[in-house]
Amino acid sequence: MKIDDFDQMRNRMHRLMGEFFKDLKPLGYQPEQSFHPPMDIYETEDSLAVVMEIAGLKSSDIHVLFEKDLLSISGTRTEYSPSPKTRLHQMEIDYGYFERTLRIPFPLKTDGIKANYREGFLFVTIPKMKESVTRTVEVKLL
């Protein structure tokens, strides 16, 4: 089996499994992609914060989408080389398309989402919804 055939088969399996388990994706679900940029996810008292290390992109190359309970971050990092390569000795920097999708297990305010990209890091902050206050009501029987 050729490498291209194996990659196509693997991609089909990922899509098939993704469709089958689409409603069961956990926090930090990773769909098929060219590379896997590292990220930190943490919660503060007021918000959910995501920090992703994606150096070498322009802010226009990064897409942040929040829909229902899914936060998706995607983009494309194009190869940068200041001079033509005559002989490759080592290649560790990943290029191409990436996408990270997170299932958020609690309600967030979508209108308050903020994203900022600086020094190779994307910072996404989404405020939490204020929890409803529980009240006890005394019922008087007549």
Domain containing 53: what range? 3-79+94-127
Q: Are 72 and 64 in contact (CB under 8 A)?
A: yes
| 33 domain-assigned | yes
Q: How many domains, the chain?
A: 1
For position 51, what pLDDT does the model report?
A: 97
Residue 136, domain member (yes or no): no
- The answer to whether 47 touches 125, Cβ cutoff 8 Å, is yes
pLDDT score of 29: 47
| pLDDT of 123 higher than 90 | yes
**Residue 34 falls inside a structural domain:** yes
CB 94 within 8 A of CB 27: no
Q: What is the CATH number of the domain that holds 38?
A: 2.60.40.790
Is 46 a member of any domain? yes
Q: What is the pTM of this model?
A: 0.66
pLDDT of 62: 95
Segment of 33-47, 86-100, 121-135 carrying the highest mean pLDDT: 33-47
